[in-house]
């Protein structure tokens, strides 16, 4: 039977390098205990911008601007070597890793951030990057809209894996797109702290 590790540890908030370092250790710990699939939460790297649900859009402008600047500067550029330690540990430990990230667009605007979830193979490669299709309510002040190009199920040693992010899981057609591809393990990362 496949052993799956669901990581319930906080990131080093708004610090990409330290969060990746923590994720590497958590993957090693999980794999050492027999996990073949390690799953992190929504936007684990470098953290979920929870301030959008609490700060006032007009009244807290200065603080919101500072926080957004830190988020943008710590968001992950997939084509860079920023994720190399996480890719390397997946290969070293021979595990599949599913990890939520704040992804910084590196091809066009270079300032758009996406709420993305990566599937990393045991060979240390990114098999899929799914960008959240429709950010929820105030999330639209932070993240761009996904284009569905990552709405895929990928083959892994533990089965066919696919993912939707948080409230996307309430979208019937998005779920159907994964079901129609013969998904075995459906992953629904969220930042929420509820049951």
User: Residues 183, 135, 18, 51: what is their CA dihedral angle, to the nearest 10 degrees?
Assistant: -140
Rounded distance, CA 77 to CA 74, Å? 9
Residue among 36, 103, 129, 166 flagged as catalytic: 166
Q: Is 3 one of the catalytic residues?
A: no
Q: Within a 10 A sphere around the Cβ of 78, how many other Cβ atoms?
A: 17
Residues present in the chain in total: 195
Residue among 42, 103, 139, 168 flagged as catalytic: 42
Q: Is 152 one of the catalytic residues?
A: no
Residue among 36, 103, 132, 152 flagged as catalytic: 132
Q: Is the peptide bond before 168 cis (omega within 30 degrees of 0)?
A: no
Which candidate, 21, 7, 41, places its Cα nearest to that of 118? 41
Q: Is 166 one of the catalytic residues?
A: yes
Residues forming the active site: 42, 132, 166
């Amino acid at each position: 039977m496949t052993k799956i590790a669901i990581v319930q540890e906080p990131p080093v908030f708004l610090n990409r390098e330290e969060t990746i370092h923590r994720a590497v250790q958590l993957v090693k710990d999980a794999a050492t205990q027999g996990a073949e699939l390690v799953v992190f939460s929504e936007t684990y790297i470098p953290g979920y911008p929870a301030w959008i649900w609490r700060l006032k859009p007009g009244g807290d402008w200065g603080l919101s601007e500072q926080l957004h600047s830190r988020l943008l500067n710590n968001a992950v550029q997939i084509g860079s070597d920023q994720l190399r330690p996480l890719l390397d540990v997946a290969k070293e430990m021979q595990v599949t890793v599913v990890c939520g990230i704040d992804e910084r667009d590196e091809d066009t605007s270079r300032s758009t951030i996406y709420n993305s979830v990566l599937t990393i193979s045991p060979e240390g490669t990114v098999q899929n990057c799914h960008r959240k299709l429709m950010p929820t309510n105030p999330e639209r002040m932070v993240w761009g809209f996904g284009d569905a190009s990552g709405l895929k199920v990928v083959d892994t040693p533990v089965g066919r894996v696919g993912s939707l992010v948080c409230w996307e899981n309430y979208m019937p057609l998005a779920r159907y797109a994964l079901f129609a591809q013969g998904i075995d393990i459906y992953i629904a990362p969220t930042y929420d702290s509820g049951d």
